[in-house]
Amino acid sequence: MVITIPIPDLKKPPTLKFPERCVNCGGSKDEALGITLNMGVQKRDQAVTMQLTVPMCSACATKERSVAKVTLVPFLVAGLVVGLIVFVPATLLSPEGTTPQTLGFPFVFGGFVGMVAGVIAGSVVEFFTKILAAPFYGRLLSRRPLTIVGFLVESDELIGLSARFLRKEKAVRLEFENEEIAHEFTQLNSLEN
């Protein structure tokens, strides 16, 4: 079920309440996980964010953390290893600057090339890890974007809930997998579907 919540003033996003039970399975609330959406504006020189505190049972929270391990850890490890491997030859092969402004050019060039290679390699390894882990996690894993894409889009995913900030429409779109929880959410926040 998809619920769109308008945000008339981006500097004052609403505080949303979730039912006091797991957003995924409807079980009892054991802990809460957070979703943070950047509103794209500043207030007193600080970025304005919308904080969502999502209740979860311990089993679903554990599943959520294990999904994060399957996506984030391969991306970071492969990206770091490949980035360091590429950094060394790129630094050694780049020309040394002759002016005070370009003396550190080999390190800047090596760092940039290493970072790009690391992001690409990390994304490729994460993609294949997700394919291998899909039979164990199913839809939980297949719906998630690659880590690098997740950094670039204004959305966040948890088990049972997907949140996305729609900048042009000035709204937040929440997608619930559990219809019953979605109905309770709309009643708690006095929203229309």
Within a domain: residue 87?
Answer: yes
Within a domain: residue 193?
Answer: no
Within a domain: residue 14?
Answer: yes
Mean pLDDT score across all residues of the chain = 87
182 is in which domain, residue-wise?
2-188
**What is the tens place of the pLDDT at every residue in 163-172?**
888 888 888 8
Q: Model confidence at 56, in pLDDT bands (50, 70, 90)?
A: very high
Mean pLDDT of 141-154: 79
Q: Model confidence at 193, in pLDDT bands (50, 70, 90)?
A: very low
Between 193 and 77, the more confident residue is 77
Mean pLDDT of 79-98: 92
pTM equals 0.72
Within a domain: residue 149?
Answer: yes
Q: Which two tokens stand for residue 50?
A: 């919308």
Between 91 and 99, the more confident residue is 91
Total domains, the chain: 1
Q: How far is CA 75 from CA 4, 90, 112, 144, 161, in A?
A: 32, 21, 18, 14, 23
